Amino acid sequence: MIDFTLTPNDQKIFEHLRAEGLVARKYARQYDENEHEFPPDELPEAKDWPDVWTFMKGRTKEDTSLAVMGMLISHWQTWGDYSVRMRRSESGLGNAALSAAGTKEQVAKWGHLILSMAITEPGCGSDPSRVQTTAVLDEKTNEWVLNGEKIFVTTGCRAQGVVVWATLDRSAGRAGIKSFLIEKGTPGFVVAHKEKKLGIRADDTAAYVFQDCRIPRGNLLGGNEGIPQGSSGGFRGVMKTFNMTRPAVAALGLGMSQAALDFTREQLTEAGVDLSYGPGVHGLSAAARKFQQLEALQEAALLTVLRAGWLSDQSQPNNLEASVSKAKGGTAVRQITQGCIELLGPMGISREHLLEKWFRDVRITDIYEGTGQIQHLIIARTILGYGRNELK
Amino acid sequence: MISFGLTDEQELVRSTLREFAANVLRPAAREADESSRLPDGLLDQAWELGLTSTQLPGILGGGDEARSPVTNALVLEELGAGDAALGLAVAQPSLFAFAVADLGTPEQKKRWLPLFTGSRFPAASVAWIEPSPVFDVLALQTGAEPKHGSFVLSGKKRCVLLGDRAEHFLVIAKNAQSAETGFGAVDAFVVPRSAKGLTVTETEKNLGLKALPTAGLVLDRVEVPSADRLGGTAGFDARRLLALSRTGGAALLLGLARAVMEFAIPYAKDRVAFDEAIAQKQAIAFMLSDMQVETDALRWLVWKAASFLEQGRDATRESVFAWSTAAEQAMRIADNGVQVLGGHGFIREHPVEMWYRHARTLSVLEGVAGI
């Protein structure tokens, strides 16, 4: 049955996250303006607070299902502060890749580590089939030898290990690409530098260099060393990781745009702008109408995220819906934060408030985990029944 | 619990209506638009589907099923995808009937609901829209003055659906005595076509939805007994009626937008330019993917508002989101649909130019479709 009601058990979790979020906000400005500093693992005010997942116990069938909750939890975590939230997170994108592509033994061995994900290179971003980093098997020592450069690695400094995409054979295209797990401290694996960014500054982004970096043969995720002819090999499987991370990434962005809306509503109301719902075009002030449009955008985008999560909970395919939510969320958060600043004018641009930071922080949403254009390519291919050769 | 799951019954209703839309509405749409005339027998044929009567009380002749704005929103999406003009026509009695069912007094239900449980299509219309270019649903010029035991209504209405044949009008007016503004001042009165002082204008000529006759009302000191004030002495919850109609309108627009997308996709795959299908060019493909994104997002907004209404919650905010998004996106999608078809989007051989007119027309009509 169609339902959009949050149960008391659901609400309890979000209340906790909002309280935690308000604590995180006290630190947000500090670590935004001091990009080289890492936020503490524990916020002093919240050090005795239970982890959010402890609230997931004692839930019933009447409560909202797990993946949908996961999306909403991400959303309310970044509502406080994106970077401080990430700092507290004990898993990175590499963990999702390990779960999706690793064998049971590999998941058991490395699942406890914080893992980053290294795909992008100086010469390849949206098209990962162009990966140039190589992995060559040294049969004498039973080791893979990796060489290449990776950039824009989210949580790359703090991570304890990384899932790296490298090719066994550049001429094989996508079929030759495999993912490897490399632990920090492996000789030949260098964290070259930390990137300086527009936003999400407290969440570190690293550049890696691999120079004759040797790892055990068993570190190839999934264990399949073959290069299939005339197919994409394991590439498609690896891409499936994105079916959950894409809506989750949209949810992270939407937490920040929700924060921007809440702040804007508060300030406009205090300034005497009537934001009540009900009247049509001629019954609203221009500011109220604009604000309602931004709120509707937020709601629409969040619902596409929840839909993608819900399908996953029902064990239904959600490839299309994952891209829809990422495409919609990516543009929505930009328009919302840009619009909130427009509505608040000088207050919006002041660094005394966090709105200008949210405006910078959300901008990544439409870029990482596949740009909006990549999402549209996937959506278009799906609805048109086209493959990559028919719609480039 | 957040859930996007339809019940088996809702799935069945949806597929039944999808067939009706494809087999009955779509084939008749162009001719009906060209002639500005509803196809003969369409209203009675559609009435047999029981769209309105099923959810009315059994004791009054209805199907006695639970009121389900969610199911009705699914129905309106399908009707809108068939043809917005014909779809709105066949669903037309719902807004009046559900207004009485949800918001009327027990006596009012007994008097008026049997109109909607018979075997023939009953035309009965809600008259909300007014002719002023600065018309707002909550700032009405039509006024209701209390006068011992009755109300005197004066003002003008526009775009009253099936105004050419409706026997009863639910006239939305501002209570002149009310000190409140906004929703609190909105009142509604059942006015029979034969009421003294009521003039129904000639059928209006509109940009789109041409098959659906609309008329204006001129109310010149029309006296209505207090007993015919919706909700009796307490008045009625205008929030709910407006939310029902906004969500219903949004559901129709969603169907219209989906129709455009479903028509544009095969066309773009078939049409060749510069040695490949135009759908293989990102400029076109991205217009189509955008249609997919926006119709999807809009559907969940409609479902959320409908679900709130089904649960008896205040859905003002949710219905505003659904309606305003539908109005914007349906127009945009129809606009892009014309562009995808190019010259063929402009000629009347294809339905896209008609949908473009429908989108602009329907998206300015608040208070016409009920769920």
- Per residue in A61-101, pLDDT tens? 999 999 999 999 999 999 998 876 655 667 788 998 898 88
When pLDDT is averaged across residues B157-168 and rounded to a whole number, the result is: 97
When pLDDT is averaged across residues B333-357 and rounded to a whole number, the result is: 97
Q: Is residue B150 pLDDT above 70, yes or no?
A: yes
Q: Are B2 and A299 inside 8 Å of each other by CB?
A: no
Same domain, B221 and B131: yes
Of B10, B290, B321, the CB nearest to A299: B321
Position A236 scores a pLDDT of 62
Per residue in A315-324, pLDDT tens?
999 999 999 9
When pLDDT is averaged across residues A266-281 and rounded to a whole number, the result is: 94
3-state SS record for chain B: CEECCCCHHHHHHHHHHHHHHHHHHHHHHHHHHHHCCCCCCHHHHHHCCCCCHHHCCHHHCCCCCCCCHHHHHHHHHHHHHHCHHHHHHHCCHHHHHHHHHHHCCHHHHHHHHHHHCCCCCCCEEEECCCCCCCCECCECCCEEEEECCEEEEEEEEEEEECCCCCCEEEEEEEECCCCCCHHHHEEEEEEECCCCCEEEEEECCCCCCCCCCEEEEEEEEEEEEHHHECCHHHCCCHHHHHHHHHHHHHHHHHHHHHHHHHHHHHHHHHCEECCEEHHHCHHHHHHHHHHHHHHHHHHHHHHHHHHHHHCCCCCHHHHHHHHHHHHHHHHHHHHHHHHHHCHHHHCCCCCHHHHHHHHHHHCCCCCCCCC
Closest CA to B206 of B357, B29, B369, B370: B357
Which residues of A are less than 8 Å from B272 in CB distance? none
Q: Are B320 and A386 inside 8 Å of each other by CB?
A: no
Position A43 scores a pLDDT of 78
Gap between the Cα atoms of B323 and B320, Å rounded: 5
Tell me, yes or no, whether B14 lies in a domain: yes
Position A56 scores a pLDDT of 82
* B33 CA: distance to closest CA in chain A (Å): 28
CATH number of residue B116's parent domain: 1.10.540.10
* CA dist A22 → A27, A33, A186, A336 (Å): 10, 19, 39, 21
Same domain, B105 and B144: no
Position B361 scores a pLDDT of 98
Same domain, B248 and B311: yes
Same domain, B254 and B351: yes
Position A88 scores a pLDDT of 61
Which of B206, B234, B262 represents a domain boundary (last residue)?
B234
Same domain, B222 and B245: no
Tell me, yes or no, whether B370 lies in a domain: no
Per residue in B299-328, pLDDT tens?
999 999 999 999 999 999 999 999 999 999
Q: Are A282 and B306 inside 8 Å of each other by CB?
A: no
Q: Is residue A239 pLDDT above 90, yes or no?
A: no
Which residues of B are less than 8 Å from A314 in CB distance? 5
* A143 CA: distance to closest CA in chain B (Å): 43
Gap between the Cα atoms of A259 and A56, Å rounded: 24
Per residue in A107-153, pLDDT tens?
999 999 999 999 999 999 888 888 999 999 999 999 999 999 999 99
Which of B101, B121, B141 represents a domain boundary (last residue)?
B121
Q: Is residue B291 pLDDT above 70, yes or no?
A: yes
Tell me, yes or no, whether B87 lies in a domain: yes
Of A2, A280, A376, the CB nearest to B289: A376
The nearest alpha carbon in chain B to A304 belongs to B297
Gap between the Cα atoms of B52 and A130, Å rounded: 58
* B30 CA: distance to closest CA in chain A (Å): 27
Bridge partners, residue B332, by sequence: none
Whether domain A241-384 has CATH 3.30.450.20: the reply is no
- Domain count along chain B: 3
* CA dist B19 → A211, B49, B303 (Å): 63, 12, 21
Q: Are A4 and B303 inside 8 Å of each other by CB?
A: yes
Tell me the two tokens of residue B164.
Answer: 């050419």
Q: Is residue A286 pLDDT above 80, yes or no?
A: yes
Gap between the Cα atoms of B201 and B166, Å rounded: 12
Architecture of domain A93-232: Beta Barrel (2.40)
Q: Are B183 and A278 inside 8 Å of each other by CB?
A: yes
Q: Tell me the one-letter amino acid at B20.
A: F
Under 8 Å between Cβ of A249 and A326: yes
Q: Are B289 and A280 inside 8 Å of each other by CB?
A: no
Same domain, B270 and B320: yes
Name the pLDDT band for A234 (thresholds 50, 70, 90). Answer: low
Tell me, yes or no, whether B369 lies in a domain: no
H-type alpha helices, chain A: 8-33, 66-80, 82-88, 93-101, 104-110, 235-239, 242-270, 286-313, 319-344, 346-349, 355-361, 372-384
Per residue in A156-202, pLDDT tens?
998 999 999 999 999 888 889 999 999 999 999 999 999 999 999 98
The active-site residue, picked from A266, A299, A369, A390, is: A369
ipTM score of complex: 0.96
When pLDDT is averaged across residues B186-215 and rounded to a whole number, the result is: 97
Distance of alpha carbon B227 from its chain centroid, rounded? 27
* A387 CA: distance to closest CA in chain B (Å): 10
Gap between the Cα atoms of A279 and A296, Å rounded: 15
Which residues of B are less than 8 Å from A3 in CB distance? 1-3, 307
Same domain, B348 and B272: yes
The ranges assigned to domains in chain A are 8-88, 93-232, 241-384
Same domain, B209 and B148: yes
Determine the residue among B141, B289, B333 to mutate to test chain A binding: the one whose Cβ has the most chain A Cβ atoms within 10 Å. B289
Q: Enumerate residues 59 to 78 of chain B having a beta carbon within 8 A of any beta carbon in chain A.
A: 70
When pLDDT is averaged across residues B32-57 and rounded to a whole number, the result is: 95
Same domain, B212 and B251: no
Under 8 Å between Cβ of B162 and B94: no
When pLDDT is averaged across residues A216-237 and rounded to a whole number, the result is: 78
Gap between the Cα atoms of B157 and B126, Å rounded: 10
* B95 CA: distance to closest CA in chain A (Å): 18
The nearest alpha carbon in chain A to B290 belongs to A376
Which residues of B are less than 8 Å from A299 in CB distance? 301, 304, 318, 321
Gap between the Cα atoms of A35 and A201, Å rounded: 6
Per residue in B77-111, pLDDT tens?
999 999 999 999 999 999 999 999 999 999 999 99
Q: Are A391 and B293 inside 8 Å of each other by CB?
A: no
Catalytic residue flag (residue A369): yes
Determine the residue among A2, A6, A60 to mutate to test chain B binding: the one whose Cβ has the most chain B Cβ atoms within 10 Å. A2
Interface membership of B36 toward A (CB under 8 Å): no
Same domain, B229 and B278: no
Position A230 scores a pLDDT of 62
Domain that holds residue B101: 8-121
Q: Which residue has the higher pLDDT, B69 or A24?
A: B69
